[in-house]
C-alpha cells in the first residue's frame, strides 16, 4: 500500500501524539519535571506532531483517491480480486473489519467509517481539550511563578510588613513557590510558627494578594476574601495564638483593616470578612478545630473592638 498515511504509520503517529499529551500533562503535575524541563519542550513536541498530522492529511488529499470515501475503491478492487468485489460487505473477524464478497455474506454494509479514522477524529478533539485545559486552567495558576524575582521580593516584603503589624513584631512571610512546605494536597493555604517569625503562604494566595496590593486588581470576591483571611490567620499565629478557632475569629476582624491597607474600600473589606465568618461553619465541618468559638460575636469576649457596632 502506498497511501501517504498507511495504517501502521497512522498508529505510530497516534501513539506519539498520545505520548506527547501525556508528557505535557505530566509536566504540569510533576514538580521535578517542571524544574528540569522548560515548558516549550512538551509544547514543541505536541506542535510538531500536530504539524505532521496536518501535512500527512494534505498529502493524502493530493494522492490517488483510493484511500478516500467508503470502500472499495478502484485500487482495492484490483488488489483484492476484481469485479465480484464490487458489492462487498463489511464483517468483523476477531476484532478486525474484513470486506467479503456479497454472495458470501448478505449483511448490509455498515454506515460507520472504518474505526481508525473515527478514533483519529476523537483524538483530535481530545488533544484540543487538553490544550484548552492547559491554557485556561493550569497556566493561570502559574501566576506567582510568572512574576520576576523583584516583584516576588517586593510582594513578600509587603506581606511581611502587614503580618508584622498584626503580630506585633518583625516577621518574614515567604511564598513557597517550590511547593515543598505548603502544597495544595495538604489543604493548607499557609503555615506559621506560633509566636515565631516565619510564615509560608501558597503561591496562589500570594499571587492574589500581589494582584490586589500591587496591581490594584480586586479579583474575585471569594478568592480575595480568602487570601486576606489566610494572611491575617498566619499573622495571628505569629503573634502567639495557637487555637485555630480563636485565630480565625481574630483574623476575620483584623482582615477588615488589612484589606483596606492592601487597597480595598472599608465596605468591601468588611463584607469580605463577614463572608469569611459566615462560611466558617461550613468550612469547619471538615476541620472542627477551625470553628470560631461562640464568643466570636459583636460584644463577645473575642470582639477585638467592643465599642464598635460592626462585627467583624
Residues forming the site for Zn ion (CB under 5 A): 244
Q: Among positive and negative, which fits the CA dihedral 132, 133, 135, 136?
A: positive
To Zn ion, the closest distance from the beta carbon of 188 in angstroms equals 8
Shorter beta-carbon distance to Zn ion: residue 170 or 194: 194
Q: How far apart are CA 6 and CA 59, in angstroms?
A: 12
Q: How far apart are CA 153 and CA 178, in angstroms?
A: 15
**DSSP string for residues in 82-135:** SGGGSS-EEEEETTEEEEE-TTT--PPPPSSPPHHHHHHHHHHHHHHHHHHHII
Shorter beta-carbon distance to Zn ion: residue 89 or 246: 246
To Zn ion, the closest distance from the beta carbon of 244 in angstroms equals 5
To Zn ion, the closest distance from the beta carbon of 237 in angstroms equals 5
To Zn ion, the closest distance from the beta carbon of 248 in angstroms equals 8
CB 249 within 8 A of CB 296: yes
Shorter beta-carbon distance to Zn ion: residue 66 or 226: 226
Shorter beta-carbon distance to Zn ion: residue 22 or 184: 184
Contacts 24+ apart (CB under 8 A), 170-173: 170/197, 171/196, 171/197, 171/198, 171/199, 171/235, 171/238, 172/197, 172/198, 172/199, 173/199, 173/200, 173/201, 173/231, 173/234
To Zn ion, the closest distance from the beta carbon of 228 in angstroms equals 15
Buried b (16+ CB within 10 A) or exposed e, 274-306: bbbbeebeeebeeeeebbbeeebeeeeebbeee
Shorter beta-carbon distance to Zn ion: residue 162 or 244: 244
Q: Closest CB to Zn ion belongs to which residue?
A: 244
To Zn ion, the closest distance from the beta carbon of 254 in angstroms equals 14
Shorter beta-carbon distance to Zn ion: residue 20 or 167: 167
To Zn ion, the closest distance from the beta carbon of 253 in angstroms equals 15
Please give the C-alpha separations between residue 87 and each of 66, 82, 83, 103, 263, in angstroms, as whole numbers: 16, 11, 9, 9, 77
Shorter beta-carbon distance to Zn ion: residue 213 or 238: 238
Shorter beta-carbon distance to Zn ion: residue 244 or 257: 244
To Zn ion, the closest distance from the beta carbon of 144 in angstroms equals 21
Amino acid at each position: 500500500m502506498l497511501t501517504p498515511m498507511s495504517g501502521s504509520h497512522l498508529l505510530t503517529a497516534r501513539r506519539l501524539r498520545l505520548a506527547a499529551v501525556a508528557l505535557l500533562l505530566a509536566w504540569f503535575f510533576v514538580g521535578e519535571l517542571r524544574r528540569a524541563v522548560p515548558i516549550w519542550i512538551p509544547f514543541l513536541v505536541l506542535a510538531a506532531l500536530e504539524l505532521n498530522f496536518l501535512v500527512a492529511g494534505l498529502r493524502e488529499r493530493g494522492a490517488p483517491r483510493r484511500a478516500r470515501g467508503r470502500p472499495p475503491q478502484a485500487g482495492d478492487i484490483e488488489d483484492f480480486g476484481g469485479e465480484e468485489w464490487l458489492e462487498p460487505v463489511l464483517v468483523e473477524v476477531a476484532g478486525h473489519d474484513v470486506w467479503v464478497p456479497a454472495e458470501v455474506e448478505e449483511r448490509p454494509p455498515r454506515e460507520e467509517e472504518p474505526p481508525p479514522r473515527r478514533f483519529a477524529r476523537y483524538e483530535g478533539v481530545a488533544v484540543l481539550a487538553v490544550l484548552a485545559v492547559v491554557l485556561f486552567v493550569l497556566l493561570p495558576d502559574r501566576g506567582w511563578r510568572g512574576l520576576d524575582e523583584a516583584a516576588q521580593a517586593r510582594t513578600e516584603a509587603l506581606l511581611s510588613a502587614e503580618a508584622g503589624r498584626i503580630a506585633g513584631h518583625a516577621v518574614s512571610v515567604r511564598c513557597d513557590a517550590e511547593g515543598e512546605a505548603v502544597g495544595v494536597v495538604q489543604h493548607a493555604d499557609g503555615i506559621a510558627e506560633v509566636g515565631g517569625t516565619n510564615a509560608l503562604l501558597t503561591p496562589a494566595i500570594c499571587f492574589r494578594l500581589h494582584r490586589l496590593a500591587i496591581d490594584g486588581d480586586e479579583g474575585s470576591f471569594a478568592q480575595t476574601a480568602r487570601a486576606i483571611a489566610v494572611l491575617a490567620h498566619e499573622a495571628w499565629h505569629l503573634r502567639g495564638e495557637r487555637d485555630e478557632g480563636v485565630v480565625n475569629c481574630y483574623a476575620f476582624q483584623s482582615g477588615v483593616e488589612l484589606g483596606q491597607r492592601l487597597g480595598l474600600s472599608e465596605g468591601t473589606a468588611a463584607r469580605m470578612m463577614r463572608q469569611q465568618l459566615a462560611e466558617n461553619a461550613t468550612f469547619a465541618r471538615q476541620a472542627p478545630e477551625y470553628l470560631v468559638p461562640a464568643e466570636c460575636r459583636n460584644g463577645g469576649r473575642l470582639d477585638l473592638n467592643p465599642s464598635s457596632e460592626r462585627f467583624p
